[in-house]
Structure 1
Amino acid sequence: MAMKTLNLILIVISFFTYTQSIQNSSANIKKISDTTKVIQLNTQAFRSRLINPDITISEANKALKLALKINYINGIAESYRVIGVGNSYKNSIDAAIENYLNALSYFKRNKNLEGEAKVYNNIGNLYRDIDYNKSLENFEKSLKIATKLNIKDLVAGLNLNIGTAYQQRKNYSKALTYYRESLSMFESLENKIGIIQSHQNLGVLYLNLRDFRSAEDHLIEALKKSKEEKLNNSIAAINLTLSSVHIAQSEFEEAEKTIEEGLKYAELLDDSKLVRNYTLTSFELESKRKNYFKALTYLRKAYREDSAKFVNNISDKISLLESQHIQLEKQKENELTIAKQKNTQLFLWASIAIAIMAFFVIFLLIKIVRKSAENNRELSRLNLEISKQKDDLDMINQNLEEIIEDRTRDIKIKNKKLSEYSSHLSHQIRSPVATLKGLMLLEKDDLIEKNELVEQIGKCIYDLDDKIMNINENLNNPNKSSLIGED
């Protein structure tokens, strides 16, 4: 009886063990399936960055939600990174840096060096237009890891980004070296997007070097390939540079067409920074055309957009500060899940890292607000300067018209006086000259005495002198009546 009872207990235990094993197996299969889905969502989201950044952010958020659910750390980190990339392409710098720092934190905890290298590259791109030294510092960190792991695509991309950093410092020779190396690597890897970006950056570089033909060749090649791949963001950015090339060569009609096409893509992407840059390029075009009124219209539009953007940025900063607490709370919940597998000391260091990141984000926000304020002040100054120059030109034109009118009037008066002088000279002088001529004829025929001849000649001379003096006095005295009719 005891043996039967023992066998029954063993059968029950075996059944429950088998059932639990099946359940664990099903859970593992489900987790693997969800992990694959997270990877697919992030991959698709990243590919959409040059087509529509909103799709990138939306798909990466789906991946993040699923990754958090299954506690897939690499998936969480990559989702944050891709969301940051999407925000970067939308020029939402604050949201981008927040997501990059979250991604970096998760990659470091999971000791994922490739992920860290990608995030350092992304942060370097974010700093590229703000702080040259920090940009290069992050690119070099990324390059060191990528070279060690032999990640060729990332190394090629880093060469491109480092070249751009040098171009920002106007070190064009170094920039050209990195760009050529990058293009060569992307071509060997058959990386279409990398090839497009290399041609695009070479176009910008040659524009800065004023080698317009080379710049145009590279930009047209990049534009052609971007249209083939339907990369809306790249098309908008390339057209912006290409329009500057056309303006520099005074190809105004071509520049206008390029601006029109690029602006459509910028508006389609809802990229406020690109739209503003097209407004400023239109200002540049109309200024070079000497269509100053239209140019001023574009400048005012850009100024209004900057002012509105500044107000919106302030609102966004406040909203971001308010949401940071919520974000930090969510992250603490995620860290509690991770802390089950790690000791208390690791959790403490993670909390410190998050606090440092929060201070870093606040520092960046303050810096960006100050930069926006400086830009607005500069635009206001330029607007006032243009208005003052216009007023000065109007005043100069008015003064020139008055001077020309006065000089014309003076010339007419002098011409009239000269005409009168000529007329009166011939009229008034004729009588004394005729008398002299008669006296000479009388003397020739010995019909007049020598003394009388001398006396008459003297009278003629005095008469002639009086008449000439009288004519000069009347011509030089505008208050006297005209000489016409006087004898």
Structure 2
Amino acid sequence: MKKLIVSTLRKGSGKADTLTIKQIDKLASYYYHLNPDSTLYYGLLEISLSKKTGYVLGLADGASQIALVNSFRGNYDESANRYNAALKLYQQLHNNKGIGESYKGLGRIQDFLGNYDAAIDLYKKALAYCLKTPDETDDGECYNRLGVTYDNKGDFSEALDYYFKALLIDIKHNDQNAAATKYSNIGVIMQELELYPKALTYYNRALAIWEKLGDQQGISTVCQDIGDLYISQKDYKHAISYINRAYSIFKRLNDTDGLSFVYYDLGLYNYYIKHPDVAVRYLEMSLKLAEQNKTRYVKAYAFVGLAMVYSWDKNYQQAYNYAIQAKAIGSELNSLIVETDASLQISTALAGLKRFEEAYHEHEVYTRLKSELQHSESIHKAMFYNLEVDFAKKQSELVDRQHKKEEDYRKRIANQSKENLISAIIIVVLAIIVSVYYNAKRKQQHINQLLGEKNNEIIRQQEDLNTQATKLNELNSLKDRLIGVLAHDLRAPISTLRGLFGLMTDENLTGDEFVKMTPKVFTKLENTSDFLDTLLFWINSQVDGTKNKTVSFSFADLVSRELKHLEDKLQQKNLSIQQNISPDAIALADPSSVRIVIHNFLTNAIKFSKRDGVIEVSARVENEELNFCLKDHGIGMSAEYLNTLFKSHVNSSAGTENESGTGMGLLFCKDLIEKQKGKIWAESVLGTGTKLCFTLPLGNKTI
């Protein structure tokens, strides 16, 4: 193409027709991912030739190419001027595709500057114009840019929704480079949600595609992301190899925006391996490029990193100054992650400066922000699994449609084969065209071979998608079960706390009564917080697939803590506890999981016990395993109801004083106990009470 352009320009003494200018524009676009300098050169050449020929579309396209390179290099003012000039020209031409591209470019600039709402508005304008064009890939790029901006804004659910929409379009059109971008972007969100194995899976998909295509920009970006991921997991050996690879490519491409991220990661890496001087140098380099490129998000994290290093070096005043600047930027960007990290560093620095009251106040702010962040992450995790399930379903439907097209094509080929057979009979009779028949037959065999290979590939893809859909459906079911557990086990303690705080705000409450009630409220808060931490630990172990922390522990201690946690509920019904726990009752299991089961047993016993009743708790060693049982003398249950207790969701009956439940508790208990290599069962007679039991492996008695 370059030879053709040079030849045309020589013949025309420096002038060119519209066809040549369009070819120059294609070259400019082609070189963007390989060599941005070449894109700049061809963009300027396109403008120069378009001015001579009065070709308005060429002027607009050339301005867009130059704007893209300036945006890539952080020259945002120049880039915005070029995009606005191109936008006016495209509007004159009523060119919807060009208008959409201009709005996308302007939106990208606002995204880099941290003006996320403005960027989203521009991207949605771009999407409106792209939807008017027949090229569906333009829609996918708009969805992707919206996803990036919502990610930067911290709205991960919206970001994932747009990423999966864009990815589906890429797969439909077999656009591997664009699909790699979406895999990388989804990986970034998985990393921010601390779903590290899933993040690495998406990153590796992107890296494999970009290495196959030789896309240096993509390779450098995903290598930086993987390096950052390994730093988060404290795997510094793997982290530095990916970071160094990203650095060499960004340096060669003169990508200052990418270099600012790499310098930040190098700063963190040297901080964690205890090279503070080197860490400060890299973080200052990151900060300098972030200020030059006006990327406030990177600037904020450079400040956080510097605060961490200076606090470690006991230069608390300098650490405080950087942390304050980081928090200010985080507030401007409305980034909960940045604000949380900055608050922790401010608290640490204030404590080092012996400004303890301010440090305590800031630590309370950090605790509140961290809680909000964890709550937000739990919601986004649940949304992610829903979106992934929906995406897998749509992808499966897309494969089915493609399979049907292949079937139709196969039928047409089959019909063609019949016609060829008839022709072959005629050809045999007509010896003159034997050679033509021979060639047609060979061609048919080749087509059949290709179809067979394609069919086998589609069958393999279908099997993979079916397996993936099954796993995702299981995760979706788990999400619903988690919500039921939270509602079941947190309603009662929160209601109790509400009542206690209501009493404490009563104007008729005396000072002595207030003082006596305060420890009780504090104890209740600690118990509720402790149980919430245990429950969230279990939820994360289910979602993230982490292994149980199996240890030896005393059953008596665990039961005592749970009885104290439920002391108020026992007192409300005036229930007494009879304990018969053997001193050698030592279990080998995950204590957090077992505690959830005991808690559920106790709450069920309290719920179905009559006022002034007795609950019997026993634990003893039988047949080389620990046998735990909890018996109440309440209302009991029928044989039919008992038979369904551990098999599926049941309709929870009201307690003796109209207490309610989810019907899912014992189903989860069965899941937990069986994961600890134990067995669980129940015995009950209607009207005489219920006995709930489980076994666990014996633990080491010298704990």
Normalised by the length of structure 2, the TM-score is: 0.42
Matches within 5 A, 1:369-448: none
Structure number with the higher strand fraction is 2
The answer to which of 309-318 and 190-199 deviates more is 309-318
Distance 1:210 1:315, change over 3 A: closer
- Judged with a 3 Å threshold, the aligned counterparts in structure 2 of structure 1 residues 314 and 171 are, in CA distance, closer, same or farther, namely closer
Contact 1:97 1:361 in 2 (8 A): no
Q: Is the counterpart of residue 198 in structure 1 residue 258 in structure 2?
A: no
Moved over 4 A (4+): 29-32, 306-318, 342-346, 351-371, 376-381
The within-5 A match list for 1:43-442 is 43-52=105-114, 53-129=116-192, 130-307=194-371
Contact 2:337–2:373 (CA<8 Å) still a contact in 1? no
Alignment-mate amino acid for residue 264 of structure 1: A
Alpha-carbon separation, structure 2, partners of 1:363 and 1:148: 37
Q: How large is the Cα RMSD of the aligned pairs?
A: 4.3
The DSSP-based 3-state class of the residue aligned with 1:222 is: helix
Aligned to 2:97: 35
Q: Which whole-Å CA distance do the structure 2 matches of 1:65 and 1:363 have between them? A: 36
Q: CA deviation at 1:108?
A: 0.8
Partner amino acid for 1:115?
A
Stretches of structure 1 lacking an aligned partner (at least 5 in a row): 1-28, 385-487
Q: How far has the Cα of 1:365 moved from its partner?
A: 7.6
In structure 2, do the counterparts of structure 1 residues 239 and 203 end up closer, same or farther at CA, with 3 Å as the change threshold? same
Checking the alignment, whether the CA contact within 8 Å between 1:127 and 1:135 is kept in structure 2 is yes
Distance 1:105 1:309, change over 3 A: same
Please say if residues 63 and 75 of structure 1, whose CA atoms lie closer than 8 Å, have aligned partners that are also in contact: no
After superposition, what is the alpha-carbon deviation per residue over 1:161-211, rounded to whole angstroms, capped at 9, x for unaligned? 121222223221221121122111111111110111111111111111121
Aligned residue type for 2:132: K
2-side partners of 1:138 and 1:307: how far apart? 27
Within 1, Cα distance between the matches of 2:527 and 2:230?
A: 26
CA distance in 2 between counterparts of 1:366 and 1:303 reads 28
Q: Are the counterparts in 2 of residues 317 and 365 from structure 1 also a CA contact under 8 Å?
A: no
Q: Which has the higher helix share?
A: 1
Go from structure 1 to structure 2 and tell me whether the alpha carbon gap of 1:316 and 1:169 turns closer, same or farther (over 3 Å shift). Answer: closer
SS at match of 2:131: helix
Q: Is the 8 A contact 1:139 1:162 kept in 2?
A: yes
Bigger-Rg structure (1/2): 1
Cα deviations by residue, 1:109-161 (Å, 9 ceiling, x for unpaired): 11111110101111111122422222222111111111121111111111111
Give how far 1:359 is off.
6.2
> Is residue 339–residue 369 contact of structure 2 (8 Å, CA) maintained in 1?
no
Q: Percent identity?
A: 19
Please give the alpha-carbon distance, in whole angstroms, between the structure 2 residues aligned to 1:107 and 1:281: 42
Asked if structure 2 preserves the Cα contact closer than 8 Å seen for 1:276 and 1:302, the reply is yes
How far, CA to CA, are the matches of 2:372 and 2:168 in structure 1? 34
Deviations 1:403-454 (A, max 9, x none): xxxxxxxxxxxxxxxxxxxxxxxxxxxxxxxxxxxxxxxxxxxxxxxxxxxx
With a CA cutoff of 8 Å and minimum separation of 6, indicate the structure with the bigger relative contact order.
Answer: 1
Q: Pick which of 99-108 and 86-95 moved more.
A: 86-95
Structure 1 378/181 Cα, relative in aligned 2: closer, same or farther at 3 Å?
farther
Change (3 A) 1:105 1:236: same
Q: 1:155 to 1:313 in 2, by over 3 A?
A: closer
**AA partner of residue 275 (structure 1):** E
Aligned residues: 337
With over 3 angstroms needed to count, the CA separation of the structure-2 counterparts of 1:363 and 1:34, relative to structure 1, is farther
The aligned amino acid for 2:348 is: E
TM-fit CA distance, 1:57: 2.3
Confirm or deny: 8 A CA contact 1:303 1:380 kept in the other structure: no
**How far apart are residue 249 of structure 1 and its match?**
0.7
Q: Is the 8 A contact 1:60 1:82 kept in 2?
A: yes
Q: TM-score by structure 1 length?
A: 0.59
Q: C-alpha displacement at 1:256, in angstroms?
A: 1.6
Q: Deviations over 1:300-325 (max 9, x none)?
A: 1223334556777899999x89x99x
SS at match of 1:210: coil
- The CA deviation at 1:228 is 1.3
